[in-house]
């Protein structure tokens, strides 16, 4: 039976997904690229970890495809690959074209992030994956947000933005919109990744057992 903290984590994860999809953020993000990146940040750094910590999806770990996808290498490559794919300008422009394509974008990002955090934060099937290995696993995955973030911030031209007139309505040029989006991807995301990695590293240094890294905290 799940604890109160786990139930709260589950509710918080679902509420975060709702905030991402529904108005006002869901509609405003169709106008500003920076808000669209805020959606991505909420999915990977808030919703996905909370849903994994809630243990509401532990039963899926019995499925063979899920077991394969949550092997450390598979989960890392899947998360980084999916996230970078949706920040490729052509993929982003396609996703911005319709509600269905945006939902596909959000869904695949959330699923990849949940598989990733299940390796870092769950005890299911990863008892031999030490805290030190988990810390490195999380820190290196920050490349998924660092790379597009740095490119967006330092690019001399707008390469991945909403239509020009949308940014201008908010008093921003397309390049300024992109630069704010890049900063969101670069700085806040790193705070989450390196914060959790630091916690895992501290647990490793202290000699704690990696048997139940986060589920013990939540019970």
Contact status, residue 159 vs residue 89, Cβ threshold 8 Å: yes
User: Per-residue pLDDT for 191 more than 60?
Assistant: yes
The one-character DSSP state at 61 is G
> Is residue 63 classed exposed, middle or buried when 0-12, 13-18 and 19+ CB atoms within 10 A define those classes?
exposed
Residues 6+ positions from 135 with CB-CB distance below 8 Å: 197, 198, 200, 201, 204
In which band, very low, low, confident or very high, does the pLDDT at 127 lie, cut at 50, 70 and 90?
Answer: low
pLDDT digits (tens, 9 = 90+) for 12-34: 999 999 999 999 999 999 999 99
pTM: 0.91
User: Per-residue pLDDT for 218 more than 50?
Assistant: no
């Amino acid at each position: 039976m799940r604890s109160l903290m786990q139930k709260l984590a589950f509710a918080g994860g679902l509420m975060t997904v709702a905030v991402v999809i529904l108005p006002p953020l869901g509609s405003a993000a169709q106008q500003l690229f920076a808000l669209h990146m805020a959606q991505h940040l909420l999915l990977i750094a808030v919703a996905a970890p909370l849903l994994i910590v809630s243990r509401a999806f532990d039963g899926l770990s019995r499925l063979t495809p899920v077991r394969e996808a949550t092997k450390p290498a598979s989960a890392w490559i899947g998360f980084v690959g999916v996230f970078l794919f949706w920040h490729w300008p052509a993929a982003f422009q396609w996703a911005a074209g319709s509600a269905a394509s945006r939902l596909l974008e959000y869904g695949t990002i959330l699923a990849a992030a949940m598989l990733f955090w299940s390796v870092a934060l769950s005890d299911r099937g990863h008892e031999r994956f030490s805290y030190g290995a988990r810390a490195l696993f999380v820190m290196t995955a920050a490349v998924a947000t660092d790379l597009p973030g740095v490119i967006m911030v330092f690019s001399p031209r707008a390469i991945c933005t909403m239509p020009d007139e949308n940014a201008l309505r908010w008093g921003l040029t397309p390049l300024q919109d992109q630069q704010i989006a890049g900063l969101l991807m670069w700085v806040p995301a790193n705070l989450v990744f390196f914060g959790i990695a630091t916690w895992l590293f501290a647990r490793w240094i202290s000699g704690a057992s990696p048997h139940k890294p986060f589920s013990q905290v939540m019970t």
